[in-house]
Amino acid sequence: MKKFFPGEVYVQSAGVHSDLEVDGFAVAVCEEMGVELHRHQARSFDDLKDWGDDISSYDLIVALSPASQRQALELTRYYHLDVEYWPIMDPTGIGETREAKLDAYRQARDQIITRMQARFGPQKS
């Protein structure tokens, strides 16, 4: 979102768990398109609240997994948020070789881009 719509939206990434490192394959395939993830860290919805991010100020949560969708819907009990579930392929564990794994991550990345452009329009930058 930050690459495709710079300065137009405020975006934060969060998930169900924050105890995981950002996946190296995700870092590699995002780097291919000029998005740096190597300095990012995984954070949860709870981390956002703990760090002072006001979840009620968001308009939309896009969930990419059933688990994150459940947690996002739970938040709607307390905050007025729209939640969309985008069923994106989970590339974790797909492929035997490094190149096959990267191809799976590229497919997931490209699915996200396609959904993002369908929902929000063409890239602005």
Domains and CATH numbers, the chain: 14-119 (3.40.50.2300)
Contact by Cβ (8 Å): 57, 31: no
- The pTM (predicted TM-score) of the whole model is 0.84
Q: Between 100 and 77, whose confidence is greater? A: 100
String of DSSP letters for 76-92: TTTS--EEEE------T
pLDDT at 74 over 80: yes
pLDDT confidence tier of residue 86, bands split at 50, 70 and 90: very high
Q: Rounded distance, CA 33 to CA 93, Å?
A: 22
Helix (H, G, I), strand (E, B) or coil at 15: strand
Q: Tokens 């949860």 correspond to what residue?
A: 44
- Given a cut of 90, is residue 8 above it in pLDDT? no
pLDDT of residue 125: 56
- Contacts of the segment 57-64: beta carbons below 8 A, 24+ positions apart: 58/10, 58/12, 60/84, 62/86, 64/88, 64/112
